[in-house]
A = this chain, B = another copy of it.
Amino acid sequence: MKFYEKTINEKHIYTGNYLEILNVYVELPDGNKSNRDIIKHPGACAIIPFLDNETVLLVEQFRKPLEKTILEIPAGKLDKDEEPLKCAYRELEEETGYKAESMTYLGSIATAPGFCDEIIHLYKAENLSLGAKCCDEDEFTQVRSFSLDEVKSMVKSGDIIDTKTISVLAYL
Given the complex, which residues of B lie within 8 Å of A169, measured CB to CB? Answer: 170
Please give the number of chain A residues whose Cβ is less than 8 angstroms from any Cβ of chain B in the complex.
Answer: 70
Given the complex, which residues of B lie within 8 Å of A14, measured CB to CB? Answer: 13-14, 21
Contact of A26 with B by CB under 8 A: yes
CB contacts under 8 Å to B, within A1-25, are: 1-5, 13-14, 16-19, 21, 23-24
1/0 per position for A138-172, CB-CB distance to B under 8 A? Answer: 10111000000000100110100111101101110
The answer to whether A107 and B155 touch across the interface, beta carbons within 8 angstroms, is yes
Contact of A102 with B by CB under 8 A: no
Q: Which of B4, B24, B39 contacts A62 (CB 8 A)?
A: B4
Interfacial residues, chain A to chain B (CB-CB below 8 A) = 1-5, 13-14, 16-19, 21, 23-24, 26, 28-30, 32, 34-41, 60-66, 68-70, 72, 107-120, 137-138, 140-142, 152, 155-156, 158, 161-164, 166-167, 169-171
